[in-house]
């Protein structure tokens, strides 16, 4: 039995528009996290839409991700889908968490059924917990369920990333100020290098909330960049790399 790991050849990629300064990532050790792009948040008949919360903000990252994900995979980058997927019995959800999901006595909470019934909201395996049809989950992607705003709480995400040798995380999805930000903060606390791709994230919260999140990320937790610039960098890298180089 040998515990010797095969060394990975670094694959540097510059994200020129990152703030507070340009940042170089290693494609061989970076994962793109897609947070909560699920039916119950993004579909017109999902849990949130039936609460009257709308889907416009939740759907904003879709075209950005449709362009970015194939290019990222083609470059050999890892993709992690980080989705709400709760227990049907809600036994690991504290009363405050359940209240925030329900809000009112007659509201529809976690694991409950909306009037247009597509199954219990955000339960693992239900329609609402599935990634929206507009985005494709590839066989090589990793999917992780969460039951808190932070994707690192009480699940296997940290272990999965470390076993894949991942040290840098790119953040996309919804909502910028909620699950994306909470997960990014915990990632930073755990020692990951973090880059928030602001045009691949969205939230229905007022604009000043996002502005505050971007400020805090730049100040304390990592870097803020754009998926557009990352996509351009991937295209340049693809055009200047031979097939042999890509496979090495």
Q: Which two tokens stand for residue 107?
A: 């509201």
pTM of the model: 0.95
**pLDDT of the residue at 246:** 44
pLDDT tens readout for residues 15-47: 999 999 999 999 999 999 999 999 999 999 999
171-191: buried (b, 16+ CB within 10 Å) or exposed (e) per residue? bbbbbbbbbbbbbbbbbbeee
pLDDT tens readout for residues 140-179: 999 999 999 999 999 999 999 999 999 999 999 999 999 9
Q: Which residue has the tokens 């009257």?
A: 52
Bridge pairing between strands 23-26 and 12-15 = antiparallel
- The DSSP annotation for 122-189 comes to TBTTSTTTSBPTTS---TT-EEEEESSSSTTSSSSHHHHHHHTT--EEEEEEE-IIIIIHHHHHHHHH
Is residue 248 pLDDT above 60, yes or no? no
Q: What is the mean pLDDT of the chain?
A: 95
Q: Which CATH superfamily is domain 12-247 in?
A: Isochorismatase-like (3.40.50.850)
Q: Which residues are catalytic?
A: 36, 146, 179
**pLDDT of the residue at 238:** 86
Domain ranges of the chain: 12-247
């Amino acid at each position: 039995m040998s515990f010797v790991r095969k060394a990975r050849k670094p694959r540097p990629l510059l994200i020129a528009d990152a703030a507070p300064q340009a940042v170089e990532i290693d494609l061989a050790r970076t994962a793109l996290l897609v947070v909560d792009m699920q039916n119950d948040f993004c579909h017109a008949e999902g849990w949130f839409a039936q609460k009257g919360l709308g889907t416009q903000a939740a759907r904003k990252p879709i075209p950005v991700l449709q362009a970015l994900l194939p290019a990222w995979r083609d470059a050999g980058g890892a993709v992690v889908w980080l989705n709400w997927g709760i227990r049907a019995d809600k036994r690991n959800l504290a009363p405050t968490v359940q209240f925030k999901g329900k809000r009112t006595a007659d509201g529809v909470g976690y694991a409950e059924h909306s009037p247009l019934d597509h199954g219990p909201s955000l339960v693992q395996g239900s329609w609402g917990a599935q990634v929206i049809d507009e985005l494709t989950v590839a066989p090589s992607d990793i999917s992780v369920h969460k039951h808190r705003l932070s994707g690192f709480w009480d699940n296997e995400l940290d272990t999965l990333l470390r076993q894949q040798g991942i040290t840098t995380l790119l953040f996309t999805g919804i909502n910028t100020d909620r699950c994306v930000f909470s997960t990014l903060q915990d990632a930073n606390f755990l020692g990951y290098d973090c880059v928030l791709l602001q045009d691949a994230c969205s939230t229905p919260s007022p604009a000043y909330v996002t502005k505050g999140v971007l400020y805090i990320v730049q100040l304390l937790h990592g870097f803020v960049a754009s998926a557009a610039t990352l996509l351009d960098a991937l295209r340049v890298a693809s055009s200047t790399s031979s097939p042999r180089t890509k496979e090495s």
